[in-house]
Structure 1
Amino acid sequence: MRKTIGLTLISLAMAGSAHAAGETLNVGMASADAGKLDPHVATSTPDKGLLHWMFNGLVRIKPGEANPADIEPDIAESWTSSEDGLTWTFTLRQDVDCHGDYGPLDAEDVVFSLNRAADPDISAFADSYAAFESVEATGDHEVTITLKNSVPSLLGLLVPYHGGNIVCKDAVEALGSEFERTPIGTGPFMFEEYQPQQYVKLVANPEYFRGEPHIKEIFYRYIPSDSSRDLAFQSGEIDMIYGKQDQTWVERISEVPGTKVAVMTPGEMSVIHLNMTMPPLDDVRVRRAVAHAIDRDALVAFKGPDVTLAAVSPVPEGNLGYTGGVPTYAFSVEKAKALLAEAGHPDGVTIKAIHTTLPGMLTTMEAVQALLREADINLEIETVEHATFHEQIRKDLSQVTHYAAARFPVADVYLSQFFHSDAIVGKPTAVANFSHCDVADEEIAAARVETDDEKQLELWAEAQRKIMDEVCAVPLVQSLQLWAWKDTLDLGVEVNGSLNLSPPVTEAAQFSE
């Protein structure tokens, strides 16, 4: 396998333009292939990480950080808001160009982008923009956003993450359906080539408004096998590698000479969503049995205490609005079996899950499978490639859905996308409510428009309590982001976190001599 990878990378280098040593970055990603490369459609971790290097937002979180407190200008150079927080006006930079021959970016492109992000027929994130009353070009380089009601973090919706990515109108309209495989942005790197199940190639944007990147090309390689990626990294064929989500990987890769390892926030929270419309999971006693059968301490020990946090609430710890004061289900095989018997299943139950082949997620699900087996809960797992997994779970085909996600760290985002009835899969407004949960709609909706901070926190807390009482889902763990790269690669910033789940490869990144 190592020989095959080496030959593949050598052939890629020969096929690409000739660049001096230190100008080409080879990245190894734990996926078999690209999914959707349209930033308003892409939901998978591998795609979001790649798009991070191609697109800008009106604002951004400072590279290397993930905290909303570190929001700074990006395409917008300044902004103002009305006293009631319902009208926001952004003044745009005038030196931002679209990739290729699509010309300068102006207010029309921003209006088009945000309206597209809010369009449920196009965007996977439309629900996040439901509060937008209008987005208007109030000048060639001025955009005004008017809200129907205040939102927990307007600027958080405008960072280049999910719907906040700004696309170029002319490119989207010219390319049509091909935009999913030919993304055009304004960022430091431009799309050049896609080879299915092999790689996406990016090249430096010489007209980038912050300056031409030092790195001239990036090969974003799809290598789903953990061992194959590790071998490619250790042999020097890969410069940057997406890590296996466990502590032994960190310990092993840290021993490779000349290696920088990063354990980054935010963590992707793994949650088991239980489809409440499908027997036997339509019985809350069975769902509570599942919750009692899962030992989070064992999962943390399995994944590694330095890279994993136990999860107890539908909202990750550390997010604005999180509460740990929710119904909890202590690990107890006996309690789980008793609940099953009470529900009419003294001999246990069988439940089924469609699951991704991504190694980090699959090992977690296999650990859950082993735990459930002890309580006479037989979890059957059907594995499919990651892009297929996303397609099938959104068609409501899985009884149990294991979903690992990092979102903008405000409670409303997790609650609205995963637990409000508007987000139930199969609906026109669907996002990622795989459980068909609707028990906290009132609190989630009220919190979005509540202007009193304390009352808003109380509403979010009550929503979390209701969701856990009904066991719409079982939170498992937060897995922090694990990456490694050669220490000769200087990213130009201290890397503590990345909302987009990939290290910040910007115009400042360069290899040392």
Structure 2
Amino acid sequence: MAKKIGFSLLVSFLLVLSVVPGCVEREEKPEAVQPGTPLDTLVVGTIRGPVELDPARAYDTASGAVITQIFDTLVGYKEGSTELEPRLAERWEVSPDGTQYTFYLRKGVRFHDGTPFNAEAMYFSLKRVLDLNEKPAVVIRDFIKGGSAYTDPENPDYHNPEILGLEVVDEYTLRITTEYPFAPFLSVLTHTVASAVSPAAVRKYGDEFFRNPVGTGPFRFVSWEKGVDVRLEANQEYFRGPPKVKRVIFKVIPEPSVLKIEIQKGTIDITGTMLGLRPEDVKDLKDQPRIKTEEKAALTIAYIGFVTDREPFNDKRVRQAFAYALDYDALINKILAGVGARFVGPIPPNLWGYNPEVPLYERDLEKAAKLLDEAGYPADETGHRFKTTIWYNSDNTTRRDISVLLQSNLKEIGVDLEIKALEWGTYLDYLYGEERKIDTMFIIGWAPDYVDPDNYVYPLLYSGSHPPNGSNNTYYSNPRVDELILEARREPDHAKREQLYKEIVRIVAEDSPWIFLYSTVDVAVTRENVHNFHVYPQHYIDLYPVYKT
């Protein structure tokens, strides 16, 4: 899933004085003063603030990190795992044909504004996603019966609620009907787009709801100063019990090297690679006093995308040549400091559906040059072939370093590479906006919206997922891949689905719409007095169980 949240006031350096209680006869000296943050406050350091705080509009990991704290969904993840558990729904039933989900909702849950959560509120929240039909709507739109027709202005049933598979059965029962049986549908409902929002707050704030978010989650929104911080406070009436800390601050620290310094000083409590910390800095921090680290193979992937319907990248031989030119050893061992795994195809190696029999691309300059010759881009007398451009977001130094590495590698086969950087919000608009603004190459990552191979192949490679309707910003289109994607998402048998995805991996590896860079290994870095902060492979951040001592 590619968004996250805003921030208000800058956190200042705070000193926590630990004083030994005095006794009548003599005065005790205080213990040494240690820098740090208050015990009732969690300060999360991130290089990037949110773009949106409205779950129906936000579609980036930075925004999602904050939204997850403010809002709840019907289904959630068990602490520290990808296993599902009830959240706003106490339980559910699935019809024998796998197309009807009946959710029995928790009673007594209230939004942060005091209004009640019930089936009408959940219906309102899901229908609102379809009414707005912003980028994240793609996560649920095609699964809810009638969702595609409801959001299509060309369809006679456009905005006709009668066709939607959403039904309020009674005050605390909601039924969702899907277009077809789809095994991961419950996982889909863990995504932030399926969050319950306060109908009263939406009506009150209108288009400004994203600056005044109201959910049922463990933390209430306090303030957001864009580019500085987001401040939250504990929801003392949370249905799972109050959080362990009173306040949360997401502090924006655009420079990764400063992020490293602040976790060392204790002016932030939590950071990590999922929040923008560089792999080389993780390596330096592992042996630091008063710091803890935790690693876990993640489901996030990084790739260089080619705009495949524009010259020269409409020829797969050019795309393959660039893939053969890259120095993967330097990428993994130098830029990533070993914190990353090679992969090929659109599915990460630690998720079922990956095809380990498909060979990785390895550096081969002779093969790269030959492919460019065959594609009609021979070198001139000076060895030069052509010039192109790669784009990345300016706050990501890893992507900068990868761009510089590729620039050097391509020069060896006669290609000049210009590197351009954009601010994160602008970069997202360039990649996913209504108007196409990048027609060469770009570096991006993908964190799954739900844990299933479908969430890689459908949004990133299906021809119907071109922006602004989806995230296939390479404009890749292969009729056979489209056919396999649709067949796999409708197939109820797990073993058959797995074989379909392995075939997709084989074809996509050959077509090479991406340079397959790496699958991430996420590393959480916390102060030693921070407990219960877990690394989730799906890039999920949960501060509810976290506490400090």
Q: Does 1:63 align with 2:93?
A: no
- In the alignment, which residue of structure 2 is the partner of 1:510? 547
Change (3 A) 1:145 1:8: closer
1:2-17 matches, cutoff 5 A: 8-10=10-12
Deviation per residue, 1:298-346 (Å, 9 max, x gap): 3211244652111211111122322234465332111111111222222
The correspondence for 1:334, drawn from 366, 379, 404, is 366
Task: State the distance in 2 between where 1:471 and 1:247 align.
Answer: 26
The answer to whether the Cα contact below 8 Å between 1:41 and 1:124 also exists between their aligned partners in 2 is yes
Amino acid at match of 1:461: K
1:23-102 matches, cutoff 5 A: 23-31=40-48, 33-65=49-81, 67=82, 70-101=83-114
Q: Which moved more, 1:376-385 or 1:357-366?
A: 357-366
Question: Equivalent pairs: percent with the same residue?
Answer: 28
Q: Does 1:157 align with 2:188?
A: yes
Quote the offset at 1:112 in angstroms. Answer: 2.1
The answer to whether the Cα contact below 8 Å between 1:350 and 1:380 also exists between their aligned partners in 2 is yes
Change (3 A) 1:86 1:202: same
- In the alignment, which residue of structure 1 is the partner of 2:460? 418
1:70-469 matches, cutoff 5 A: 70-101=83-114, 103-119=115-131, 121-133=133-145, 134-159=165-190, 161-243=191-273, 246-304=278-336, 306-326=338-358, 328-346=360-378, 347-357=384-394, 358-395=396-433, 396-398=436-438, 399-407=440-448, 408-426=450-468, 430-439=469-478, 440-469=481-510
Task: State the distance in 1 between where 2:409 and 2:459 align.
Answer: 28
The answer to whether the Cα contact below 8 Å between 1:315 and 1:411 also exists between their aligned partners in 2 is yes
Quote the offset at 1:403 in angstroms. Answer: 1.5
Deviation per residue, 1:135-157 (Å, 9 max, x gap): 21111111111112011301101
Amino acid at match of 2:206: G
The answer to whether the Cα contact below 8 Å between 2:300 and 2:537 also exists between their aligned partners in 1 is no
Amino acid at match of 2:79: P
SS in 1 for 2:98: coil
Aligned structure 1 segments of 4 or more residues deviating by more than 6 angstroms: none
Task: State the distance in 1 between where 2:40 and 2:432 align.
Answer: 40
Task: State the distance in 1 between where 2:463 and 2:132 align.
Answer: 15
Quote the offset at 1:265 in angstroms. Answer: 4.2
Task: State the distance in 2 between where 1:120 and 1:168 align.
Answer: 16
The answer to whether the Cα contact below 8 Å between 1:125 and 1:162 also exists between their aligned partners in 2 is no
Change (3 A) 1:238 1:38: same
Quote the offset at 1:185 in angstroms. Answer: 1.4
Change (3 A) 1:181 1:365: farther
TM-score scaled by structure 1?
Answer: 0.89
Amino acid at match of 1:406: A
Quote the offset at 1:12 in angstroms. Answer: 10
Quote the offset at 1:163 in angstroms. Answer: 2.3
Change (3 A) 1:48 1:11: same
Gap runs ≥5 in structure 2: 1-8, 16-36, 146-164, 379-383
Amino acid at match of 1:367: L
Task: State the distance in 1 between where 2:98 and 2:299 align.
Answer: 30
- In the alignment, which residue of structure 1 is the partner of 2:526? 485
RMSD: 2.3
SS in 1 for 2:116: coil
Change (3 A) 1:212 1:219: same
Amino acid at match of 1:312: V
Amino acid at match of 1:174: K
Quote the offset at 1:253 in angstroms. Answer: 1.3
**Alignment: residue pair count:** 487
Amino acid at match of 2:354: Y
Greater gyration radius:
2
Change (3 A) 1:320 1:165: farther
Q: Which moved more, 1:22-31 or 1:339-348?
A: 339-348
The answer to whether the Cα contact below 8 Å between 1:60 and 1:71 also exists between their aligned partners in 2 is yes
